[in-house]
Structure 1
């Protein structure tokens, strides 16, 4: 009787051991997560075009097929040695996401990442890394172009203007958030004011037909006072959009005295 009992106990132990090994084998045989339909772009539009704007946000989304529970999702965004201009700061982003909705089998990743207004323009590298509970890791990557929300192009201005006359200036403006205003500041630094002359500064905010436009040509004629001192003048054109972002264009013009 005892012999039969021992025999049955051995059989039960071997069965349990073999089942455990089989379970372990099944677990280790699970495939790594698969990341599909990875998309990213301008946040407010949920765009799939790989472009975003400074001072706005990036929309990112991906479908994750996982045989084992996801343990973490890591997102990394960094630039490719971009030059940092005046008023800009180098920007990168890295975050490990472990919220409950992601720590499941087959989650959908969906996030919005803010791009600071001081980030340099240019190409940025994106990495999405998924790790499951068994330690399997899958990674996808891509690139996104981060642009300024205001673009000034095709700039044209007269090189000289006689005082008492006007000069012509035109350029194209593209503003994804709409134009709020265009401010022109014209001034001279250190010019001597002669007899019959008066210091000349020009400051004017243009609204009118430009306000709330997303693409428009700025085309104006600006008068120079007949008493303005002759010499070089510095001009700054500042475009402000409806979100408060600004873009400047600086140039110079020579004011001449009329030939007597």
Structure 2
């Protein structure tokens, strides 16, 4: 492909002849260029650009050639020549720049969490169990880390309980990709306070873009006792009445009752009394049931204050205790 043009750029109307030639525009493969085919102008395998400029001058009386000093005085050109040469250079210059593309921050969707064993999405978990968390991540750049943070909201810490705060940065290979799916299970300690916990999921890509999504999960006791009704006083030779509701998400394994005295003096005709019994019939494997029992108090039991401990164990080994006192009268 070639182009030829005559441009009138001098005052004396002598033209400038400009030729532009493009070889192998479509980058077609040709013969080995070290061979003799180059002598017959076989183009190279890559595109080439040739743009020679040919200037034609007529020497007239105004041109003086001094052979002794090798100096030649040539007619002045106007600024049109400089403008044309600059335009041709800029037009034919091949330049390329990689346009910088701005990638969006990751998008987190379908963030769900709940009780782990059933993969529920009701935003409830149980002490001694685990939390199932899952989210879809749409990322234009490769994900560099996923951070999960769980902490409580001013929860009261009871006896034998400890504060709980969870934070982990996930950099597993399955997450360091474009558009990963986050899926993890987090163990919930059995000795933490029940209540509302704040959940934060933070996704960062390799460009430093960060996206955060949050929610709340209610951490509950796997066993709850409610509507407690236990006699505060009872007469020996009679019975003790105990009644309350039990809810156990994992099912009830057994209910134990332990009654013992507090250093009571044993009088004549009296016998020290301790009571221990495990109840399973009518309760085992139930998730919600009313405990309702009558416990006989021997007529020979010393009068005084007795300590009572109710212990409920579920099928996963979690334990819930309730203790109170009863005065046994003569």
Could you say which structure has the larger radius of gyration? 2
Please confirm whether the aligned pair reaches a TM-score higher than 0.5, indicating the same fold: yes
Aligned-pair CA distance for 1:4: 5.4
Cα deviation per residue 1:20-65 (whole Å; 9 max; x = unaligned)? 2x1x2x1xx2111111111000001101001100110000011111
CA–CA separation in structure 1 for the residues paired with 2:315 and 2:182? 31
Q: Which residue of 2 aligns with 1:223?
A: 296
Per-residue deviation, 1:251: 1.0
Shift of 1:99: 1.2
Whole-angstrom distance in 2 between the partners of 1:111 and 1:144: 15
CA distance in 2, matches of 1:143, 1:54: 15
Q: Could you tell me how far apart the structure 2 residues matched to 1:83 and 1:178 are?
A: 27
**3-state SS, counterpart of residue 116 of structure 1:** coil
Shift >2 Å, 4+ stretches: none
2:320 equivalent in structure 1: 247
Aligned to 1:93: 166
Spell out, residue by residue over 1:106-163, the C-alpha distance to the aligned partner (whole angstroms, 9 max, x if none). Answer: 1111110001112221111110000011110000011111011000001112221110
Q: Distance in 1 between matches of 2:148 and 2:301?
A: 58
Higher helix proportion (structure 1 or 2): 1
Between the two proteins, the alignment pairs up a number of residues equal to: 248
Distance of 1:158 and 1:55 partners within structure 2: 32
Structure 1 residue 11 and structure 2 residue 93: aligned? yes
3-state SS of 2:193 partner = coil
C-alpha distance in 2, partners of 1:101/1:84? 37
**Offset, 1:190:** 1.8
Cα displacement (A) at 1:209? 1.0
Distance 2:138 2:324 in 1: 55
Provide TM-score, normalisation by structure 1.
0.90
* 1:47-101 superposed Cα distances (whole Å, 9 cap, x missing partner): 1001100110000011111111111111011111222222222211111111122
Could you say what the CA RMSD is over the residues aligned between the two structures, in angstroms?
2.1
1:73 and 2:155 equivalent?
no
1:131 aligns with 2:213: no
Higher RCO (C-alpha under 8 Å, 6+ residues apart): 1
Q: Which runs of 5+ in 1 are unaligned?
A: none
- How far does residue 202 in structure 1 lie from its aligned partner after superposition? 0.6
Does 1:155 pair with 2:228?
yes
Q: Which residue of 1 aligns with 2:184?
A: 111
Mapped partners of 2:164, 2:226: distance in 1? 26
Which sections of structure 2, spanning at least 5 residues, go unmatched?
Answer: 1-18, 20-49, 53-88
SS of the equivalent of 2:93 reads helix
TM-score, reference length from structure 2: 0.72
